Amino acid sequence: MSMAMDINKIRNETLYCEDKIFLNSAGSSLSPTVVNEAVRHFLSEEETRGGYQVEEDRQHDINDFYHQAAILLNCKAENIAFAHDATDAYSKALSSIPFEAGDVIITSNDDYSSNQIQFLSLQNRYGIILHRINNLENGDIDLDHCKLLVEQHRPKLVAITHIPTNSGKVQDVKNIGELCADQQIIYLVDACQSVGQLSVDVQEIKCDFLSATGRKFLRGPRGTGLLYVSDRILNLGYAPLFIDGRGATWTAANQYKPADTALRFQMWEAPYAMLIGLAKAINYANQIGIKKIEGRNKQIMNHLRSKLAEIKEIKMYDRGSQLSNILTFRHIGLSVADIQKILDHHQVYCSISTREWGVIDFDKKGVESVIRLSPHYFNTIEEMDRVAQILSDVLSN
Ligand SMILES: Cc1ncc(COP(=O)(O)O)c(C=O)c1O
């Protein structure tokens, strides 16, 4: 039987979590002390010896980033590339696919806004055709429609966001992965909000690419991310369009040789202090155990959802059979800005999600903005009670 999580220890290792209720891990979370210390230490080493010397001296720790990410995602270190953020990882993956005019991309209504912009950009420049999978009445992705679209259009790519930024649903990336694997279709998963929040296993999902960011539920530094690249993609020889001297070697005047591993998707330069910080953050999650983190997250979130459901003026907007640690809501009588002011006043940290981050979803819901609360395992049940109390006190006045 697995041991319970030591919340006191975790909170002691999360400086400044006591003077506020931090509910913005979907934005940029609080890092464990070990992460911040590692970054500061690395920067001071660079200050003393210069970046190149430190990079050489700390190779072992730098390599640990790839090992930790591989443990977390259930792959080999060779399948991992460091990225500057999730979008950097994602666009490198997209740029490696040899699209031709008329090629089809299938995505969901809930895919991240920047991904949608990139598909539209591909459509404008190369004549790519974009199809979106319908949602069922309950908000879930319609798997039958997905199958139909795949059979009708033989897409070059299926691209699905695991957890959207603007609502708490979890999309069924596993069943879509089965379908893509059966049909040998390239499958790209945006796991920016799910990696670090719940168990994400690339073997189970059967994806070819998976992108994630460091600063959100992984609790790493800003300006970090990662890309998983499958062996199949590496063996196919796919490489980013704008590959550089890290991803390839210039072998003759008119020739270059791409790297054998996912380093093919990485740039020569990297902020190594931040990379080391991300390695520590992933190691921290691995030490606790991602299944435990997922369990605790569900417990906290079920509690918060049920507490807010008791407040009749509050309307939650998250739909789907599986919900995540992103909760979105509005109040019937107060504006989103007013609610945020009240939460700010009580040191409850959260964010506002607006229409441009999920045009299709927001238009369907008929709202322009919602408050987004995103607790993580270091939060407590008492904090969830407190937030519900703040909202019900203010609203009943
Ligand atoms: C679902 C999703 N994908 C991608 C991103 C982009 O991440 P980044 O800002 O690290 O590029 C975000 C950021 O909020 C997101 O929520």
Q: pLDDT tens digits for 323-339?
A: 999 999 999 989 999 99
Which of 130, 134, 127, 136 lies closest to 157 in space, CA to CA?
Answer: 130
Please give the Cα distance from 390 to 339 (Å, whole number): 10
Residue-wise pLDDT tens digits, 24-58: 999 999 999 999 999 999 999 999 999 999 999 99
Q: What is the pLDDT of residue 351?
A: 96
Q: Residue 80: beta bridge partners? A: 228
Domain ranges (residues) in the chain: 7-31+289-396, 34-287
Is the CB of 225 inside a 6 Å radius of any atom of ligand 1?
yes
Is the CB of 190 inside a 6 Å radius of any atom of ligand 1?
yes
**DSSP β-ladder status, 104-108 and 129-133:** parallel
What does R_g of the chain's alpha carbons equal in angstroms?
21
Per the confidence metrics, is the pTM higher than 0.75?
yes
**DSSP β-ladder status, 225-229 and 80-83:** antiparallel
Q: Residue 123: beta bridge partners? A: none
Is the CB of 161 inside a 6 Å radius of any atom of ligand 1?
yes
Centre of ligand 1 to C-alpha 248, Å, is 27
Confidence of residue 394 (pLDDT cuts 50, 70, 90): confident
Is the CB of 86 inside a 6 Å radius of any atom of ligand 1?
yes
Please give the Cα distance from 384 to 348 (Å, whole number): 10
Q: Residues 197, 325: contact at Cβ < 8 Å?
A: yes
Please give the Cα distance from 146 to 139 (Å, whole number): 14
Mean pLDDT of the chain: 97
Please give the Cα distance from 104 to 126 (Å, whole number): 11
Q: Which residue among 213, 356, 357, 374 is best mutated to probe the pocket of ligand 1, counting the most ligand atoms within 8 A of its Cβ? A: 213
> Which atom of ligand 1 is nearest to 85's Cα?
10
CATH class of 34-287: alpha beta
Q: What is the pLDDT of residue 3?
A: 66
Place of tokens 């210039």: 250
Residue-wise pLDDT tens digits, 59-73: 999 999 999 999 999
Confidence of residue 373 (pLDDT cuts 50, 70, 90): very high
Is the CB of 324 inside a 6 Å radius of any atom of ligand 1?
no
Please give the Cα distance from 89 to 213 (Å, whole number): 9
Centre of ligand 1 to C-alpha 226, Å, is 12
Q: Residues 242, 218: contact at Cβ < 8 Å?
A: no
Which of 366, 310, 26 lies closest to 167 in space, CA to CA?
Answer: 26
Q: What is the pLDDT of residue 397?
A: 56
Is the CB of 91 inside a 6 Å radius of any atom of ligand 1?
no
Q: What is the pLDDT of residue 1?
A: 44
Q: Which fold has domain 7-31+289-396?
A: Aspartate Aminotransferase, domain 1 (3.90.1150)
Is the CB of 266 inside a 6 Å radius of any atom of ligand 1?
no
For residue 214, pLDDT beyond 90: yes
Is the torsion defined by CA of 49, 52, 58, 64 positive or negative?
A: positive
Residue partners of 162: CB distance under 8 A and separation at least 6: 170, 171, 173, 189, 190, 191, 192, 193, 194, 200
Same fold across 7-31+289-396 and 34-287: no
Is the CB of 192 inside a 6 Å radius of any atom of ligand 1?
yes
Centre of ligand 1 to C-alpha 323, Å, is 18
The 3-state DSSP class for residue 26 equals coil
Q: What is the pLDDT of residue 211?
A: 98
Centre of ligand 1 to C-alpha 141, Å, is 20
Is the CB of 374 inside a 6 Å radius of any atom of ligand 1?
no
Is the CB of 361 inside a 6 Å radius of any atom of ligand 1?
no
Is the CB of 193 inside a 6 Å radius of any atom of ligand 1?
yes
Which of 71, 112, 68 lies closest to 90 in space, CA to CA?
Answer: 112
For residue 262, pLDDT beyond 80: yes
Q: Which residue among 25, 29, 82, 87 is best mutated to probe the pocket of ligand 1, counting the most ligand atoms within 8 A of its Cβ? A: 87
- DSSP code of residue 24: B
Is the CB of 165 inside a 6 Å radius of any atom of ligand 1?
yes
